[in-house]
Amino acid sequence: DTAVSQTPKYLVTQMGNDKSIKCEQNLGHDTMYWYKQDSKKFLKIMFSYNNKELIINETVPNRFSPKSPDKAHLNLHINSLELGDSAVYFCASSQGLGRVNTEAFFGQGTRLTVV
């Protein structure tokens, strides 16, 4: 069973379109994340949800809107796509154990190409 799964794996779309990426985790974790990896491989946090509550919202354009319908799902919707949004988007999850930060497990990534 895949622990963190995201769909689709590849997404090619035109500028101006709206698209969504879905993420599901079956690890029972309480925290989920979206990270963006740019063309130089740099990874940066975008959003974090804990028990469906948004706790991190980095300086991301408001065209990006995460939605967490429940603890196991965190979707990413992107409006009015731009060329600069082309990147690999990773979903991840982790479990807080009291004050201990455990490791995050990542999905396989979604390669978004905006043309």
Partner 1 sequence: AQKVTQAQTEISVVEKEDVTLDCVYETRDTTYYLFWYKQPPSGELVFLIRRNSFDEQNEISGRYSWNFQKSTSSFNFTITASQVVDSAVYFCALSEGTGRRALTFGSGTRLQVQP
Residue 48: count other Cβ atoms within 10 Å of its Cβ: 21
Name the minimum Å distance from CB 80 to partner 1: 26
Residues 27 and 95 sit within 8 Å (Cβ to Cβ): yes
Residues 45 and 58 sit within 8 Å (Cβ to Cβ): yes
> What part of residues 53-82 is at the interface with partner 1 (CB under 8 A)?
55-56
- Quick check: 7 binds partner 1 (CB under 8 A)? no
- Quick check: 22 binds partner 1 (CB under 8 A)? no
Closest CA to 81 of 3, 21, 8: 21
Distance CA 109, CA 68 (A): 18
Residues 51 and 71 sit within 8 Å (Cβ to Cβ): yes
Name the minimum Å distance from CB 12 to partner 1: 16
- Residue in 33, 66, 78, 87 binding partner 1, rule: CB under 8 A: 33
- Quick check: 25 binds partner 1 (CB under 8 A)? no
Name the minimum Å distance from CB 111 to partner 1: 8
Q: Closer to partner 1 at the Cβ: 15 or 27?
A: 27
